[in-house]
Amino acid sequence: MNFQFSEEAEALRDQARRFLEDRSPRDKARAVMTAESGIDKALWSEIVGLGWTALRIPEAHGGLGLSVLELCVLAEEIGRAVSPVPFTSSVLLATEALIAAGTEAQKAKWLPKLADGSAIGAVALSEGTAPPGSRSAIQIAGGKASGSKAPVQDGALADFIIFSGADGLYLVETKAAGVQIDPVETMDLVRRSARLTLTDAPVEPLDGGRAALEKFLQSSAVLLAFEGLGGADMAMEMALAYAKERVAFGRKIAGYQAVKHRLADMYIKNQLARSHAYYGAWALLTDASELVQAAAGARLAAMDAFQFAAEENVQLHGGIGFTWESDCQFFYRRARLLTLMLGAKAHWADVLVRSLEQRNTMMAA
């Protein structure tokens, strides 16, 4: 049995963590929070320089051709650091969509640019109050689309956006005629969102139709689970560090059971989330028939852990945690972003139970 990351992947984790601790302290996220643009360009250039944007791109398209496990490691580290860069939108989502379902022409055009950092991609799955990717009112005919998608994370930074239509994924270039991108306000102040409005804009479908869209939602669920897991661990570590230094009633508050047990509960949820995330990574890596179940489990466990850790991190900090200056808010807000941008609990519980029902039926047959 080998249910752990390889030594190479762990070495990449160490390197990534050291780099992000050094070059992506949380004051960079804070600076972006009040800046005009939602990106730290210098940091993004360094990340491109490390090859992270090229990680999964095949060598033929100018990438490194590494496995999805290495990508999971980076997703987790970026989640810990809340780095103000479009890594999730461009690398975890847009690049992965192209690798999995892009046409040869789309891959040839965009993957080299994504690899060398000369292009940024974003993904638009959300429309109205439907779970992302489930329904779409965008009108598409004769290679032209009209309609609107929001919120689109990092939409204002993107050179192209991959969006979900009723019958699959489409690509639209943001500089094309009939494409309008307007900022929208969301709960997450660091990772900005936009509204994508298409008016007879030229679009091209990706391959694979609805099936490719479904598969994309599953792989995204796993990758965002790793990002959430990183956030959950960091929120727990912040709460731990604070509890070990804050004194009340003559003792460090870390000594009180009400505090200790809350932290133990964070640890429990984070460990469950880690185990499910690994299972999702395995299913993705091996394209296992358990992918739907594993992806839904990874997502549900990670979002549950992240939201709990983010909420209780503020709580254990007390009043200081509720201030604008406190870093607690990054995680409190980011947990909402990750949960809502890809479908909330009811949706993924439905996906999970459907796959479990199918498995039960198959086992009975």
Partner 1 sequence: MDFEDTPEEAAYRAQVRAWIEANKDALPEGDYGSRAESVAAAKKWQARKYEAGYVGITWPKAVGGQGGTAMQQIIFNQEEARYNAPTGLYAIGLGMCIPTVFTHGLSPDIAQRYVPVAMKGEEVWCQLFSEPAAGSDLAGIRTRAERDGDEWVINGQKVWTSGAHLSDFGIVVTRTDPNVPKHKGLTMFIVDMKAPGVEVRPIKQMSGGSEFNEVFFTDVRIKDTHRLGEVGEGWKVSLTTLMHERLAVGGKPASVPGVKEMIELAKAIDLAEGTALEQSHVRQRVADAYIADQGIALTRMRTISALSSGRTPGPESSISKVVVAKTMQDVGSFAADLCESAGLMMGEDAPSLPHLSRFQTSYIGAAGLRIAGGTDEILRNIIAERVLGLPGEIRPDKDIPFSEATKLGL
What residues line the site for partner 1 (CB under 8 A)? 1-5, 69, 240, 243-244, 251-252, 254-255, 257, 259-261, 263-265, 267-268, 271-276, 278-279, 281-282, 285-286, 296-297, 300-301, 304, 345-346, 348-350, 352-353, 356-357, 360
What lies within 8 Å, CB to CB, of 111 at 6+ separation is 57, 58, 61, 62, 63, 95, 98, 99, 102
DSSP 8-state symbol, 185 = -
Neighbours of 106 (CB within 10 A): 19
| Six-digit token string for 70 | 């290495």
- DSSP result, 191-214: S-EEEEEEEEEEEEEPTTHHHHHH
* CB contact at 8 A, 73 and 9: yes
| Six-digit token string for 169 | 């994924």
Give the span between the Cα atoms of 14 and 198, in whole angstroms: 43
- In 3-state terms, what secondary structure has residue 250? coil
* CB contact at 8 A, 96 and 164: no
Give the span between the Cα atoms of 174 and 171, in whole angstroms: 10
Give the span between the Cα atoms of 108 and 1, in whole angstroms: 38
Q: Which helix (H) or strand (E) holds 152?
A: strand 144-153
Give the span between the Cα atoms of 124 and 173, in whole angstroms: 12
Give the span between the Cα atoms of 162 and 121, in whole angstroms: 8
* Chain center to CA of 205: 23
